[in-house]
Structure 1
Amino acid sequence: MKYFFSFFLLSMLQFFSSQVTFKIIALPENTPKDAQFFMASSLNNWNPADKSFEFKKDENGNYTLKISKIDEDFEYKITQGSWDFAEGDAQGNASSNRKFSPQTDGNLINLEILSWQKPLEKANTLSPNVSVLSENFNIPQLKTTRKIWIYLPPDYATSGKKYPVVYMEDGQNLFNDATSFSGEWKVDETLNAEYAQKKTDAIVIGIENGGAERLNEYSPWKNSKYGGGKGDLYADFLANTLKPYIDKHYRTLSQPKYTALIGSSMGGLISFYAGVKYPNTFGKLGIFSPSFWFAKQDLIFYLRKNTKKLKNSKIYFYAGLKESDDMVSNIKKAEIELIKQGVPAKNIFTKFNPDGTHSESYWSREFGQSFEWLFENN
């Protein structure tokens, strides 16, 4: 009986230590009495009204949110369910994102909301050669639809030639500040500059993420805390539905050596998985700050079974040293496994930026270099 009680107590301590509680301890005077509060963060693609991250009011009138503790840093803000009502600084202006680090923060985070601010309207930074391919592109594998953007090289209408194609996740963050909360990758500006310098050009397909379904669709494996499990179907969509459509309707170089997948964070995980599953479709992979922590053991087992097919693939890994503690080690483990299974070391490029963080601004800085390396000697 004593042993059982000790085991039960230890289990409960482990459960509570694996949770983080965010508690709102102060609100602005102009907060509506019936207001609801949400955490928008890099964990949920900055969804300002995600029911999974809604604060609950207890019997004492306190608002708290409990989430499972994860192994990587993340940024967040508190909203009233819309970016029109996000927290601001003491003067009511836009404030910097809050940051959580599992290495330095405890299990209770007290939050003081200084004001509610209405963000400035963001400028449309979309280049003329970017357009919406479809507002509701059918994804039969997942029984849903998704918005798709397409970037065409500046000379597409006049050249008559065929182009490489890059497929990128989180499409709303690639081309336009107006559609991205946390900043865009500047893919169109970068490639237009590459074109002006007579370097490699390409068609880029940006696939909008599924919002609340993002974690589910961007991992083929289930995480007991965060979901997942639909990534295999999503990879099938990329290879068997989207790519054939693009090849049919646009002038493309359809071979694997001219076809890339690029993604960041969870988008990096699914891009890597899809590239390993379909090496004869996607021959180039740009993997930025991948969330390998989400299913790291499953990923390693998967690589051991499938990596021998990747001998002709090129893989570009990028991450920042100011990300989670295991970001670098997880990438190195994947790289070691790739080489062990026969992928030539010259086909893998790994870069760790000393001041890099888990954010679009750093991924944007690296996109041009990754693109040039992936497509050099084509």
Structure 2
Amino acid sequence: MHKNKSSILKVENFYSVHLDNTRDLFVYLPPSYRWDQAKRYPVLYMHDGQNIFHPAFNGYSWNVHETADRLIQSGLMEEIIVVGIPNRGVERADEFTHELEGVLYSSDKVRIQPKGQLYERFIIEEIKPYIDALFRTKPGPEHTGLMGSSRGGQVTYHIGFRRPDIFGKLAILSPYFYYVDPVTLEEYRQYHTFDKKQPISRIWIDLGGREGTLIMEKHVREVAEQLAFLGYEADDELMYFFDPEAAHVEKDWAARLASPLLHLFGAKGQARSLSLQGWDEVGIRGPLYRLNPIAEFDSGLKLSLLRAAYRVEDPRIVEVQEDGTVVAKEEGETTVTVNYRGLEAAISIRVVKELKERAALDLTVHVPPHTPETVSLYAWFPLSKQPEAPVYSGRLELPLHSEFVYQISRADGVAETDQAGNPVVRHYRAETDSRLELTVERWSNDIRED
């Protein structure tokens, strides 16, 4: 084997006494593991392990091995072992849900029997001792990380803060902290609040701007702010990133994976650029509005500053708090500048009397005539069939500026494709009340006649 080549091992049918089920494990060993027999390594445990080295059902993978190899070979990150723990499909939501105060799992979108505590014991009492016995690990919490996305982010948060004696580094990506009903926009909390600082040295929390109401910035930021309040140092021990272009999909988690890996096991380096993202219009009355100052470092790490120094050109028009919250005071336009480590970025903000909290969308979807009339149709919300025509429609109110990446799909698992059979992925941003008319040319199960 090449001296500088990493490897991925598969442990088949690993049995859990606590959960009474089996799953394979995947273990990434860094380049020097085979030949440097005296060396011991930190370990990162990752949920949804079948997707982190291999493509998921949607064809995407986190490609953790590729990013880890690159950061290690560049000297930016220490060599680590990565353990991928696959989910059990239909059991995933149960295993990733803790029965704790504040976790309103009975109001979740699926029926849940919480097994989070058992899954936690499975990792801590079964997987970790096995890995520590079989491989040359550094077993202490200061060298042990936990990472997951979506429900995997929620369970990382709960396990990490319950067991800081095991996990000293946490990466919480696109965490499912609330269930938001896509039709009513009612919110049901899915996380427990911890009331004291734990000996966790590194925390990473992030999300994308195109995750719609599934993962909302205000909810993820709420948890980040609670952790800062407990005493985790913002932009140092605790790092946060709001990636405006990212959706809720493996390829977007893969695209920003270097940042949490660098935070947990590397060095961020020197700040080299700063940008200031945000809305260009804010209402004296209207939704809460926060600026998003993004710093990029020479290591490639990107983060959104939780605390920053802002300067307002005309303070009669707006005030900006250190957490980026914009307080609109009177109508007009002004420039806001942010400073960080010698770098500056600016944005122009226009203040109006009022912005609505929500934007209404009337969506009409024309489907092929052979579409079964009894099948349910979805955009990111259910649509209703119009009588006498192959047309579906729906009306929805959405939080202002929320963004969705979505596919037109059917309840039987069939989705929209183009004429070449490629999936059609659409993007929508709720800027104002609007009507949208779409046409599905072809379904994924249509037989092509070439």
TM-score range normalised by the length of the shorter chain: 0.5 to 0.7
8 A contact 1:322–1:355 mirrored in 2: yes
Give the CA deviation at 1:341: 2.4
Counterpart CA distance in 2 for 1:333 and 1:274 is 19
Name the aligned partner's letter for residue 106 of structure 2: N
8 A contact 1:151–1:204 mirrored in 2: yes
Give the CA deviation at 1:333: 1.1
1:313-324 correspondence runs (5 A): 313-324=201-212
- Residue 261 of structure 2 corresponds to residue 371 of structure 1: yes
Give the CA deviation at 1:143: 1.0
Distance 1:265 1:298, change over 3 A: closer
Q: Deviations over 1:88-114 (max 9, x none)?
A: xxxxxxxxxxxxxxxxxxxxxxxxxxx
Return the match for 1:209 from 63, 69, 87.
Answer: 87
1:256 corresponds to: 141
Instruction: Select the structure of larger CA radius of gyration.
Output: 2
Counterpart CA distance in 1 for 2:176 and 2:59 is 18
Counterpart CA distance in 2 for 1:195 and 1:370 is 14
Task: Report SS of the residue matched to 1:205.
Answer: strand
Counterpart CA distance in 2 for 1:298 and 1:369 is 26
Give the CA deviation at 1:311: 4.0
- Residue 169 of structure 2 corresponds to residue 284 of structure 1: yes
Extract unaligned runs of 5+ from structure 1. 1-126
- Residue 240 of structure 2 corresponds to residue 350 of structure 1: yes
2:96 corresponds to: 218
Distance 1:128 1:235, change over 3 A: same
8 A contact 2:6–2:30 mirrored in 1: no
8 A contact 1:182–1:360 mirrored in 2: no
8 A contact 2:14–2:24 mirrored in 1: yes
2:429 corresponds to: none
Counterpart CA distance in 1 for 2:123 and 2:249 is 24
Q: Deviations over 1:165-199 (max 9, x none)?
A: 0000111111123x543400010111111222233
Give the CA deviation at 1:366: 1.0
Return the match for 1:145 from 16, 22, 28.
Answer: 22
Name the aligned partner's letter for residue 159 of structure 1: D
Counterpart CA distance in 1 for 2:159 and 2:188 is 16
Tell me the C-alpha RMSD between the 2 structures: 2.1
2:351 corresponds to: none
8 A contact 2:202–2:263 mirrored in 1: no
Q: Select the structure that is richer in strand.
A: 2
Task: Report SS of the residue matched to 1:331.
Answer: helix
Task: Report SS of the residue matched to 2:246.
Answer: coil
Q: Deviations over 1:288-328 (max 9, x none)?
A: 101111496452xx3234xx252433111111011124521
2:9 corresponds to: 131
Counterpart CA distance in 2 for 1:232 and 1:343 is 25
1:183 corresponds to: 60
1:331 corresponds to: 220
Counterpart CA distance in 2 for 1:292 and 1:252 is 32
Counterpart CA distance in 1 for 2:162 and 2:188 is 16
Task: Report SS of the residue matched to 1:181.
Answer: coil
Return the match for 2:33 from 125, 132, 156.
Answer: 156
Q: Of the two structures, which has the highest relative contact order with CA contacts closer than 8 Å and spacing of 6 or more?
A: 1
- Residue 244 of structure 2 corresponds to residue 340 of structure 1: no
Deviates more, 1:335-344 or 1:232-241: 335-344
Give the CA deviation at 1:147: 1.1
1:275 corresponds to: 160
Counterpart CA distance in 1 for 2:188 and 2:130 is 32
Counterpart CA distance in 2 for 1:148 and 1:136 is 8
Q: Deviations over 1:103-128 (max 9, x none)?
A: xxxxxxxxxxxxxxxxxxxxxxxx86
How many aligned positions are there? 246
Extract unaligned runs of 5+ from structure 2. 100-104, 180-186, 269-450
Distance 1:349 1:228, change over 3 A: farther
Give the CA deviation at 1:257: 1.4
1:76 corresponds to: none
8 A contact 1:311–1:343 mirrored in 2: no
2:399 corresponds to: none
8 A contact 2:46–2:85 mirrored in 1: yes
Distance 1:375 1:360, change over 3 A: same
Counterpart CA distance in 1 for 2:70 and 2:96 is 31
2:403 corresponds to: none
Task: Report SS of the residue matched to 2:232.
Answer: coil
Runs of 4+ in 1 over 4 A off after TM superposition: none
Name the aligned partner's letter for residue 354 of structure 1: P
Task: Report SS of the residue matched to 1:312.
Answer: coil
Give the TM-score normalised by the residue count of structure 2: 0.52
Task: Report SS of the residue matched to 2:53.
Answer: coil
Task: Report SS of the residue matched to 1:338.
Answer: helix
8 A contact 1:259–1:281 mirrored in 2: yes
Q: Select the structure that is richer in helix.
A: 1
- Identical counterparts, % of pairs: 34
Counterpart CA distance in 2 for 1:281 and 1:320 is 29
Return the match for 1:172 from 42, 47, 50.
Answer: 50
Distance 1:128 1:313, change over 3 A: closer
2:124 corresponds to: 239
- Residue 312 of structure 2 corresponds to residue 312 of structure 1: no
Counterpart CA distance in 1 for 2:44 and 2:145 is 5
8 A contact 2:204–2:239 mirrored in 1: yes
Name the aligned partner's letter for residue 205 of structure 1: V
Name the aligned partner's letter for residue 252 of structure 2: Y
Give the TM-score normalised by the residue count of structure 1: 0.61
Distance 1:228 1:323, change over 3 A: farther
Counterpart CA distance in 2 for 1:339 and 1:315 is 11
8 A contact 2:176–2:190 mirrored in 1: no
Distance 1:320 1:193, change over 3 A: same
Q: Deviations over 1:243-273 (max 9, x none)?
A: 1111111111111111110101111111111
